[in-house]
Each structure stands twice: as C-alpha cells, then as structure tokens.
C-alpha cells in the first residue's frame, strides 16, 4: 500500500518554533515546584540528574549504551512528520546525553568533545524544553532499537529535571492542579458531574426505553469505573457504552468524583505526581468499598494503572482479584461468560479499523481484547498495515502531554504517519480506546481533509449490545 502523504525533507530547526506555553506561578506553586528559575538552576538541574541516575537504572544505562546507529530515526512520528533532526529519538536523547557525558562520566570529563559532551547552558535548556515536549513517550523507538533503549524514560527524566527548576508546560501543570482540586483533568465539579450523568441517563432512556444508570459515588458497588473525564463531555457515547455494558452484564458499578480521572498527567511531569494522582484511584476504591477497579478508555491511564498502581500505592489486596482491569478485558470476559449478547448489525454501514493507543499496546500489553470486541460488534472490521499496529503502532501525535492547542502544528505533523496508514486501510471509522487519541484524530481528520469519524470501542459495543429490562 502506498503512503497517501508525501515524505518530509530533512530540515534542521524545522520544529524549533513549536513550543508549548510555559507554566507560570499559578500552576507551578500548587505542585510544589519553584515558580522562577532558581539563581543556581544549573547546579540544581545537574544535582537532579545525578539523583535520577542513582534512582532509576534505565536512565544511565540508556545514556551510556546508545551506539547512535540511527535505527530509531525514521520510526518516530515526530521526525517523520517534521523532518527536524532533533526529533530523531537518538538526537532527542542526545540533548540529555551531551550534558550527562560532560558532567557525570569520567570519559566525558577526560575527553570532553570526543565523548560528545556539552555544558548545560540556557540554550541547551531551551532545546530541552522544546524537544522533550515533542516526544509523546510512546516507546515506538524502543521497539526498533537493537538495545531496546526507551526514549520515554529519557523524556520523563528530562521533564522531571526541568520541573525541579520550575520549567514545565502550562497544559500539564494546569491539568494536574485541576485533578488535585476537583478530581479530574477537565475540572468538572461534582454537581456538573452528576448533571451530565443524569443527562446521559435520560438519553439512554429515550433510546432504549429502559432505565440505565450511571451511578456516582455509590458505596458498596462491585466495580469502580475510572473513565477519562473527557468521556463525560467530549465522548459521551463511550460513557453510554460503559453504562450499557454494566447494565446488560448485571454488574453493579459506580463512578467516583474523587477519582473521576483515569488519565495520569504525572507520567508527563514527575514521579511524585505520578504517584499522587495514582493514589486517588486506590483511595477512592477503598473508601467506596468496591471489589474491582476497571479502567476506562484512556491509553496512558492503563499504563499507570496496570504497570504502576500496585508498585506505587499497593498492595491492592483489598481488591478481588488484586489488580486493576481494563474495560476491554471486562467486556471480553462478559462476552466469553455469555453474560452479554451483541448484534453486529447495529454497526452495519461502518467500515471500522482499530488504532492501538501507544500506551495500551507498548506499555499495557492490551492488543487482542479490543480486536475481539470489534470483531464481535462490527461486520466490516479491517486492520491497518502491520508495521503500524500492535507493538509497532504509531502514536496519534498528541500523547505525553502534547494535546495543547499551541502545539497543533507539530501534533498534526506527528499525526501524518497514522493518517497515511488510516487512508490506506480504506476505513471510514477508526475505533480507539483513548481519549487523547480521540481528540487528536478528530482534529487530524479535519486537518488532512479525511472524511472519517473516530469512535471508542465502547461506543460501538454500546450500539451493538442487546439490552433487556
């Protein structure tokens, strides 16, 4: 299949102007970060680098063992889309590696330039800020690296270092502030949360004639569903899908306004926030007395939950089984146990393909379940090219805290490889269980003038599920 979109020429500095808005005191202070660049910012940043190297084996290991073979270069959607050499994963990591070699290794200190060392200057910090916010931490480079070097770990470290000297994006810190103050990324207060749940209940009543509930803060339910808060406003069909699924399966469930957010923007800033945001889900589950935590359609949420929750805020022995479950796993289980029935005719007329959210596929190991659901609920399901799916999926172009309006240019360029693969598939619907992907696909379809729709896996399941009173 021919890529529908032409390749981009190699252009130094092509993406240097794509700069996320910097966070001011209003968003930095509540997260305990310095509000101004400290006078000794250089020393402080190097101390943080030192600290992280001692606390996370992957970081020094990756900085030491890259051989600069370049196999990763044309695997990153942001390099493919912008042609900016600093968006090659090896070069992105190089921004941190230069400083590391100069300041932290004996080789760098002795041979300096020969080892490729560079000092941490204001200009270097600016490059860090620009290009470590043009990485969506999607791990695609790691899949193709002969050493398995995961640039996401390097980006996370660079952002943690920058955060420690008060350099962070407005988008990520503002979202985190909202989570701590209100309980979700969108900043939806409890009253509005209840309102929109009631509104969706009415919609479902009109459609089906049956009372299907979306419970809020219900104690003693079997399941705590943690959706991305975008599902309440931006993707209501996904929320309806969850509700119909639980209703049809006869499983009691609830949402929580304290943990009204599956997403964890701590993953995009620092370890401390990762842990704190993650803890909200565990605390809510304990207080509500649920037996299971089920995560909604959000990519990096699944990484934070399935891979980190037990480590950061466990043990989860109050759950049965003691681990979070994904809504797609839950749905597959319900189908296999024949507790729900589906009728794919409800989705006829839709040519559907599946986009693997990067975090689900490469950091969450969830690749088959969504496909099992789609094959059951859609009659025209087709795959995109194999080198763009499953473990080799392209990031949508907006993950990793990049879903900010001011980054639209690089987001659209980063979406390019995915759009090309989508066009080649001939589908007119893309199903994807990730709120960030959904927002990004909608914008990218418009930008690339592609007449198609993005939906959640639960949206299609919700339409196909057989509801009985």
Partner 1 sequence: MNGLFLATVFHLSVAFFLLGMGWRCLGWLRAPVPLKIPLTPGPKTRVGVAARLAGETIAFRSLFRAAPGLWVVAWLFHLSLVLLLIGHFGGLVAPKFSQRLLGLTAEQFTAQAQLSGGAIGILAAASLLGLLLRRIASKPLRAISTAGDFFLLLLLLLIVATGLAMRFAGQIDLREARAFVSGMRDFKSAVPSPDSVFTTHLLLVCALLVYAPFSKLVHMAGVFFNPALNQTNTPRERRHIGSGLGPARVVFPPAKTP
Burial group, residue 338, by CB count within 10 angstroms (0-12, 13-18, 19+): exposed
Helix (H) or strand (E) holding 293: strand 292-295
If one asks whether residue 395 binds partner 1 (CB under 8 A), the answer comes out as: no
Q: At CA 468, angle to CA 466 and CA 469, rounded to 5?
A: 155
Kindly tell me which residue out of 37, 58, 192, 442 binds partner 1, with binding defined by CB under 8 A.
Answer: 58
Select from 300, 308, 319 the least CA-distant residue to 433.
Answer: 300
207 contacts: CB under 8 Å, gap ≥ 6? none
Task: Give the nearest distance from C-beta 349 to partner 1 in angstroms.
Answer: 32
Task: Give the nearest distance from C-beta 162 to partner 1 in angstroms.
Answer: 17
Select from 263, 288, 268, 290 the least CA-distant residue to 278.
Answer: 263
DSSP 73: G
Scanning 18-26, 58-66, 339-347, 410-418 for contacts with partner 1 by CB under 8 A, the matching segment is 58-66
Task: Give the nearest distance from C-beta 385 to partner 1 in angstroms.
Answer: 14
Task: Give the nearest distance from C-beta 462 to partner 1 in angstroms.
Answer: 26
Kindly tell me which residue out of 1, 7, 10, 13 binds partner 1, with binding defined by CB under 8 A.
Answer: 10
Tokens 């565990």, located at residue: 282
Site for partner 1 in 271-330 (CB under 8 A): 271-273, 275-276, 279, 283-284, 287-288, 306-308, 310-312, 314-315, 323-324
Scanning 15-23, 228-236, 241-249, 357-365 for contacts with partner 1 by CB under 8 A, the matching segment is 357-365
By the 8 A CB rule, do 326 and 402 touch? Answer: no
Task: Give the nearest distance from C-beta 107 to partner 1 in angstroms.
Answer: 3
Scanning 52-60, 400-408, 414-422, 446-454 for contacts with partner 1 by CB under 8 A, the matching segment is 52-60
Kindly tell me which residue out of 3, 4, 22, 30 binds partner 1, with binding defined by CB under 8 A.
Answer: 30
Q: How far apart are CA 294 and CA 305, in angstroms?
A: 10
Kindly tell me which residue out of 7, 13, 70, 250 binds partner 1, with binding defined by CB under 8 A.
Answer: 70
If one asks whether residue 72 binds partner 1 (CB under 8 A), the answer comes out as: yes
Kindly tell me which residue out of 20, 23, 49, 73 binds partner 1, with binding defined by CB under 8 A.
Answer: 73
Site for partner 1 in 214-273 (CB under 8 A): 217, 256-259, 271-273
- DSSP per residue, 375-427: HHH-SSEE---GGGSGGGPPP-S-TTT---GGGHHHHHHHHHHHHHHHHHHT-
User: Closer CB to partner 1, residue 35 or residue 114?
Assistant: 114
User: Closer CB to partner 1, residue 248 or residue 361?
Assistant: 361
Distance of CA 407 to the CA centre of its chain: 16
Cα separations (Å) of 415 from 394, 411, 447? 8, 6, 10
By the 8 A CB rule, do 276 and 361 touch? Answer: no
- DSSP per residue, 306-325: IIIHHHHH---TTSSSSS-E
User: Closer CB to partner 1, residue 115 or residue 399?
Assistant: 115
Task: Give the nearest distance from C-beta 426 to partner 1 in angstroms.
Answer: 25
Q: Torsion angle of alpha carbons 354, 20, 182, 318, nearest 10°? A: 50
Tokens 């749905």, located at residue: 331
If one asks whether residue 54 binds partner 1 (CB under 8 A), the answer comes out as: yes
User: Closer CB to partner 1, residue 78 or residue 308?
Assistant: 308
Task: Give the nearest distance from C-beta 178 to partner 1 in angstroms.
Answer: 11
Kindly tell me which residue out of 4, 5, 8, 61 binds partner 1, with binding defined by CB under 8 A.
Answer: 61
Kindly tell me which residue out of 4, 16, 37, 71 binds partner 1, with binding defined by CB under 8 A.
Answer: 71
Site for partner 1 in 106-125 (CB under 8 A): 106-107, 110-111, 113-116
Site for partner 1 in 409-438 (CB under 8 A): none
Kindly tell me which residue out of 150, 297, 369, 459 binds partner 1, with binding defined by CB under 8 A.
Answer: 150
Site for partner 1 in 181-220 (CB under 8 A): 181-183, 190, 217
Q: Which is it for the CA torsion 456, 430, 326, 267, positive or negative? A: negative
Phi, psi dihedral angles at 61 (to 5 degrees)? -60, -45
Task: Give the nearest distance from C-beta 362 to partner 1 in angstroms.
Answer: 6
Kindly tell me which residue out of 166, 296, 357, 364 binds partner 1, with binding defined by CB under 8 A.
Answer: 364
Site for partner 1 in 79-108 (CB under 8 A): 85, 88, 90-91, 94, 105-107
User: Closer CB to partner 1, residue 60 or residue 263?
Assistant: 60
Q: Which two tokens stand for residue 137?
A: 């931490």
Scanning 42-50, 141-149, 334-342, 406-414 for contacts with partner 1 by CB under 8 A, the matching segment is 141-149
Q: How far apart are CA 37 and CA 167, in angstroms?
A: 7
SS3 134: coil
Kindly tell me which residue out of 65, 121, 123, 446 binds partner 1, with binding defined by CB under 8 A.
Answer: 65
Residues that bind partner 1 (rule: CB under 8 A) add up to a total of: 92
Q: How far apart are CA 389 and CA 367, in angstroms?
A: 9
If one asks whether residue 178 binds partner 1 (CB under 8 A), the answer comes out as: no
């Amino acid at each position: 299949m021919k890529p529908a979109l032409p390749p981009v020429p190699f252009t130094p500095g092509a993406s240097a102007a794509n700069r996320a808005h910097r966070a001011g005191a209003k968003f930095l202070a509540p997260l305990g970060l310095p509000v101004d660049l400290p006078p000794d910012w250089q020393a402080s940043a190097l101390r943080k680098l030192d600290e992280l190297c001692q606390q996370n084996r992957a970081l020094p290991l990756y900085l030491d063992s890259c051989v600069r073979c370049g196999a990763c270069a044309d695997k990153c959607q942001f390099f493919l889309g912008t042609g900016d050499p600093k968006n090659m994963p090896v070069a992105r990591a190089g921004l941190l590696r230069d400083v590391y070699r100069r300041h932290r290794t004996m080789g760098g200190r002795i041979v300096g330039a020969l080892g490729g060392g560079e000092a941490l200057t204001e200009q270097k910090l600016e490059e860090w800020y620009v290009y470590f916010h043009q990485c969506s931490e999607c791990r695609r480079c790691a899949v193709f690296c002969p050493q398995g070097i995961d640039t996401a770990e390097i980006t996370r470290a660079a952002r943690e270092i920058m955060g420690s000297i008060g350099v962070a994006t407005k988008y990520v810190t503002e979202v985190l502030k909202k989570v701590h103050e209100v309980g979700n990324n969108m900043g939806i207060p409890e009253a509005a949360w209840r309102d929109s749940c009631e509104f969706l209940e009415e919609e479902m009543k009109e459609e089906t004639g049956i009372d299907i509930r979306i419970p809020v803060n219900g104690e003693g339910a079997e399941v705590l569903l943690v959706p991305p808060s975008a599902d309440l406003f931006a993707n209501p069909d996904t929320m309806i899908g969850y509700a119909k699924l639980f209703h049809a399966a006869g499983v009691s469930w609830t949402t929580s306004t304290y943990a009204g957010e599956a997403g964890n923007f701590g993953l995009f800033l620092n370890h401390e926030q990762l842990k704190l945001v993650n803890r909200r889900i565990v605390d809510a589950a304990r207080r509500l007395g649920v037996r299971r935590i089920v995560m909604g359609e959000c990519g990096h949420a699944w990484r934070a939950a399935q891979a980190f929750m037990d480590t950061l805020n466990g043990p989860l022995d109050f759950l049965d089984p003691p681990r979070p479950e994904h809504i797609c796993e839950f749905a597959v289980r319900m189908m296999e146990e024949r507790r729900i029935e589906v009728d794919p005719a409800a989705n006829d007329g839709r040519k559907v393909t599946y986009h693997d959210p990067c975090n689900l596929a490469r950091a969450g190991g969830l690749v088959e379940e969504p496909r099992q659901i789609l094959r059951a609920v859609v009659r025209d399901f087709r795959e995109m090219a194999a080198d763009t799916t499953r473990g080799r999926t392209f990031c949508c172009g907006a993950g990793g805290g990049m879903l900010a309006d001011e980054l639209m240019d690089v987001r659209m360029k980063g979406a390019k490889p995915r759009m090309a693969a989508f066009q080649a598939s001939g589908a007119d619907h893309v199903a994807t269980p990730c709120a960030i992907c959904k927002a990004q696909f909608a914008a990218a379809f418009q930008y690339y003038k592609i007449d198609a729709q993005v939906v959640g896996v639960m949206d299609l399941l919700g339409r196909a599920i057989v509801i009985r009173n």
